[in-house]
Amino acid sequence: MQFIDRITIKVTAGTGGHGKSAFRREKFVAKGGPSGGDGGRGGDVIFRVDNNMNTLLDFRYHRKFTAKNGENGDIKNQYGHNAPPCIVKVPQGTLVKDADTGEILADLTELGQEAVIAKGGRGGRGNAKFANSANRAPTFAEFGEPGEVKNLLLELKLLADVGLVGYPSVGKSSLVSKVSAARPEIAEYHFTTITPVLGVVNVGELGDEKTFVMADIPGLIDGASEGVGLGHDFLRHVERTKIIVHIVDASGIEGRDPVEDYYKINKELKLYSEKIARRTQILAANKMDLPGAEENLQRLRELADKEGIQLFPICAATGQGLKELINAVAKALDEYVEEPDAEEGEKVYEAQAEDPDKITISRNISGEFVVSGKSLEKLVAMTNFGNDEALRRFQYIWRIKGIDKKLQERGIKEGETVHIGDMEFEYRE
Ligand SMILES: Nc1nc2c(ncn2[C@@H]2O[C@H](COP(=O)(O)OP(=O)(O)OP(=O)(O)O)[C@@H](O)[C@H]2O)c(=O)[nH]1
Ligand SMILES: [Mg+2]
């Protein structure tokens, strides 16, 4: 199974129900008051962490999620029902980003955690809501507010306890396949593993439930911290692990020196992130069955002493030494204390809180005027321009916001086109 950890999807929240324009008709009452009810809210799109999911694979064939629209308001002051939310299940550890802006919308790390990712629109107000002393019988109602539409980038950082790092072909996949049920491809050429594979490792004897998750990641090479050999993609996966098992090829069969390899890989880790560099490492000297391994092991022991790390000679091919290694990893996990999230890691993009009432005027490529502003665009979407009164209300707001004046300052002429949101107007004094 391929492990997909990035995917783009589209979510659309429900539009609010339209407000109703209606009047009471009662016997013996000559003119009933306005009685059109409000529309109901459109459904939100809510993401929820589901503990039965481990990957983003399900999204490969289901990339669009749409919540229902709110019900329209009705006569006799009846409000439309709010629409239920559309629940999107995601695995624990899913990072939700706005694909268009890069903004992080949610970091879903806890089981059962929920986040509203796209908000449903509010219902339009019925004509009853617009009655006041000046206009006791308004004939217009509002349309529902459109729901939010978002393109999303979902990222799943592997939630593995242990990450395997090392040059290509040192035997990372061989180790994972020996200690877990995972079956990553194993071969003598470099970059056999191109996507991370998770393996669940059983530590205890039969009946003892102790397990941890080990991530087999693609081999690292020099320059990985700068992205060489997909380095960034791979190192991203090591970020959330608790312990690193660093594998070297003790036999040096490919012509590299395992002691040098150890330092070079650590240099790349450090260049990528200080936090990864501080993580506990356990060194595994693999391919102990091959000639030359014993001599190098002596030098690796000196290295381990000097650096104060644990070293385990293993043979992933035969399974020799693996039990000791796994027990040591389990012990290190027991002793692991989480490092508080400091300055590092992904910077949360600060969404500039845009003033919804701010109005800006610009020209599009055809030279036509474009008036933008959140509240104003919303007002346009919710106004029923087919109704004279609604139109007058719109013009009133337009005037008190001083938009006419602003357009005149920009030199607008009679008959020119003005865009607001999806609407187009011809300018008239
Ligand atoms: N003799 C011997 N060969 C081994 C041992 N462990 C792995 N190999 C061989 O080394 C080669 C590479 O093994 P892999 O497990 O694919 O190495 P890897 O680190 O996952 O490699 P990449 O995925 O390319 O980074 C394969 O031909 C394995 O059979 C071992 O303990 N002894
Ligand atoms: Mg591999």
49 has pLDDT over 90: yes
Least confident of 38-52, 58-72, 175-189, 351-365: 351-365
Atom 8 of ligand 1: nearest residue by CA position: 171
C-alpha 210 to ligand 1 mean position (Å): 27
pLDDT digits (tens, 9 = 90+) for 391-409: 888 888 888 888 888 899 9
Ligand 1 atom with the smallest distance to the CA of 216 is 20
pLDDT confidence of residue 328: 96
349 has pLDDT over 60: no
pLDDT confidence of residue 190: 86
List residues near ligand 1 (CB under 6 A): 166, 168-174, 186-188, 190-193, 218-219, 286-287, 289-290, 315-317
Q: Quick one: which of 105, 70, 64 has its CA closest to 85?
A: 70
212 has pLDDT over 90: no
For domain 1-156, which architecture applies? Distorted Sandwich (2.70)
Ligand 1 atom with the smallest distance to the CA of 176 is 15
C-alpha 318 to ligand 2 mean position (Å): 17
pLDDT digits (tens, 9 = 90+) for 366-389: 889 999 998 889 899 999 988 888
Residues 6+ apart with CB under 8 A from 101: 349, 351
Q: Which residues are known binding-site members?
A: 166-173, 191-195, 216-219, 286-289, 315-317
pLDDT digits (tens, 9 = 90+) for 119-160: 999 999 999 999 998 888 899 999 999 999 999 999 886 568
pLDDT confidence of residue 100: 94
Of the two residues 96 and 400, the one the predictor is more confident about is 96
Cβ proximity of 201 and 179 under 8 Å: yes
% of the chain beyond a pLDDT of 90: 54
CA–CA distance, 148 with 34 (Å, rounded to integer):
31
Question: What CATH number should be reported for the domain whose range is 360-426?
Answer: 3.30.300.350
Atom 13 of ligand 1: nearest residue by CA position: 171
Ligand 1 atom with the smallest distance to the CA of 219 is 25
Q: State the pLDDT confidence band at 61, using cuts at 50, 70 and 90.
A: confident
Q: Quick one: which of 375, 391, 425 has its CA closest to 138?
A: 391
Ligand 1 atom with the smallest distance to the CA of 288 is 31
Residues pairing with 216 in the sheet: 164, 197
Q: Are strands 280-286 and 243-249 parallel, antiparallel or unpaired?
A: parallel
For the chain, which residues make up each domain, given as ranges?
A: 1-156, 162-334, 360-426
Q: State the pLDDT confidence band at 206, using cuts at 50, 70 and 90.
A: low
Probe residue for ligand 1, chosen from 180, 183, 186 as the CB with the greatest number of ligand atoms within 8 Å: 186
Cβ proximity of 33 and 137 under 8 Å: yes
Question: How much is the average pLDDT of 411-423?
Answer: 89
C-alpha 299 to ligand 1 mean position (Å): 21
Q: Quick one: which of 311, 427, 333 has its CA closest to 371?
A: 427
What CATH number matches the domain at 162-334, 3.60.20.30, 3.40.50.300, 3.90.220.20, 3.40.50.1820? Answer: 3.40.50.300
Q: Please say whether the dihedral angle defined by the alpha carbons of residues 186, 205, 3 and 312, taken in this order, is positive or negative.
A: negative
Q: Which ligand is nearest to the CA of 189?
A: 1
Domains 1-156 and 162-334 share a fold: no
Q: Is 172 exposed, middle or buried (0-12, 13-18, 19+ CB in 10 A)?
A: buried
